[in-house]
Chains A and B, each alone.
Chain A
């Protein structure tokens, strides 16, 4: 069995039998790296120049003529406190939407990626199906699919099928994001070297078990960062559900903003998104680093 690894991007050392290849670079932030060689003096210069630079920018903004108007429209502390609690109340709905959607996205996308990676003439219809699916749903704007299903599906009144608009909005998110995530998985599957498959098959493992125990675990480890990318995308796009009139956090921010004649609620919601996204990124960095540490000797063997 071959997964067509020939054209795969070799992002990482894939042969365990290639000692001496450099380990994958640290995926962590390198912002602080350039002056590390200069010792304490370098650190002080960096701190000083950073403080001066950003203080200057801050002062320039605060002292500009338009600042009071900006402050009132975007950074009103009272409106902020009031709207933040209202928004957080509804943000749970977003969390529910993107968590439920993500679970189904990860499963459906893996199924699609495996279908597309199957070799052999018998599987041609499955490969075509998976290819058409990804082409189709990557082409459509997410908001269009949400409108189409969120308004369209309940109006059909089909028996045995949920009529809730939010159910269909989640289905729409799952359909769209599965197409993206399937491509991420597929890149990971293709990056597993064919010799890994050969040695698993040589031991007498079936195709299915080779995929399950050898190919997919290695593929998923490699694509964790891009998977997170799509997860964050999904998280943000949970706000699109507002277009079918469902009161989630963005809709709530909109309501408060309209009532107060002030944009601060949007800023509050923006902060909420930032605050939940950054720890996720660091978490994945940590996962990748831990996996590497476990697999590779600190100083090379």
Chain B
């Protein structure tokens, strides 16, 4: 396998009871690549991301991170998850912990970093994303945009190889979306490999090196954003983009 492939997914299938969500997804993501997943609600974007992080047990297929198969039997799930950061739509910060502790919990408890080093790392990251003055606040006192930025910092503190972003702006008030998107832009500029499920088409066009259109559990069409958005080949892609335009979201 070429060493420039950060994430490789082969023939991924996943169903919940009788509901088939993913019916054979193949995807290679190169290092420093930013792949945006677009598609209607229920097309399987979130499930796909959760599978990559092993938050869902998959029914069939194989997943490799930096050449290592993480779906092989006997792999240490906790170690894999430390290499793949995920940020959720609903932030999911720990409400009983300060911002600082939210960020340092996993470094200290999952990989045994000293409290001192973890806090230094946290301060560095919080400063980078303009959150240094929030370090002692509790999540419920922050705006949605701030919470989501903290959630991104929390994932980054584990120094992941790949970041998965699951509709990270969908729960935000419109005026707070930009601050979160800017953080992601900065990550992309810094060379972070990312897979992003999003409804923000303008953002996807901006940031993606590749756009994948998911439909009924498969990647129906993929390509550079210019081509997908300007000249979609598939009828269903065209219809999806048309409905987005009609909704005034592009």
Contacts and interface: CB of A to CB of B under 8 A. Distances in A.
Q: Are these two chains actual partners, yes or no?
A: yes
Interface of A: 13, 15-19, 195-196, 198-206, 209, 213-214, 217-218, 221, 294-297, 301
A175 to B, nearest CB: 31
Contacts of B85: 202
Contacts of A296: 138, 140-141
A18 B90 contact: yes
A204 B93 contact: no
Interface in B135-186: 138-144, 147, 151, 154-155, 158, 171
Nearest to A199: B92
B15 interface: no
B48 interface: no
B202 interface: no
A205 B55 contact: no
Nearest to B88: A199
A-B complex: 8 closest residue pairs judged by Cβ atoms = A17-B90, A204-B82, A17-B91, A203-B106, A199-B92, A204-B110, A204-B81, A16-B95
Contacts of B93: 16-17, 199
A252 B82 CA distance: 62
Interface in B97-156: 105-106, 109-111, 138-144, 147, 151, 154-155
Given A202-B55, A206-B78, A221-B96, A19 B144 contact: yes
A10 to B, nearest CB: 14
A295 B141 CA distance: 7
Nearest to A209: B109
Nearest to B155: A203
Contact of A295 (B81, B92, B140): B140
Contacts of A16: 90-95, 139-140, 147
Interface in B62-92: 78-79, 81-82, 85-86, 88-92
A65 B89 CA distance: 73
30 contacts: A13-B140, A15-B90, A16-B94, A16-B147, A17-B88, A17-B92, A17-B171, A18-B90, A19-B144, A195-B90, A195-B92, A196-B94, A198-B55, A199-B94, A199-B151, A200-B105, A203-B81, A204-B106, A204-B111, A204-B158, A205-B106, A206-B110, A209-B109, A218-B95, A295-B96, A295-B139, A296-B138, A301-B140, A301-B142, A301-B143
Interface of B: 53, 55, 78-79, 81-82, 85-86, 88-96, 105-106, 109-111, 138-144, 147, 151, 154-155, 158, 171
A221 B96 CA distance: 9
B212 to A, nearest CB: 22
A17 B144 CA distance: 7
A17 B146 CA distance: 11
Given A295-B95, A297-B141, A203 B88 contact: no
Given A17-B88, A295-B138, A296-B141, A203 B96 contact: no
Contacts of A202: 53, 55, 81, 85-86, 155
B154 to A, nearest CB: 7
A141 to B, nearest CB: 38
Contacts of A217: 96
A100 to B, nearest CB: 29
Given A16-B94, A203-B81, A221-B96, 16 more contacts: A15-B90, A16-B92, A17-B88, A17-B93, A17-B171, A195-B90, A199-B86, A200-B94, A202-B85, A202-B86, A203-B158, A204-B106, A206-B78, A294-B138, A297-B141, A301-B140
Given A205-B78, A301-B141, A301-B142, A17 B89 contact: yes
A295 B154 CA distance: 19
A184 to B, nearest CB: 18
Given A202-B53, A296-B141, A213 B90 contact: no
**Most chain-A CB neighbours within 10 Å: which of B78, B85, B143?**
B78
A262 B138 CA distance: 58
Nearest to B139: A16
A201 B94 contact: no
Contacts of B139: 16, 295
Nearest to A21: B140
A92 to B, nearest CB: 36
B143 A203 contact: no
A294 B140 CA distance: 9
Nearest to B53: A202
Contacts of A18: 90
Contact of B79 (A195, A201, A204, A214): A204
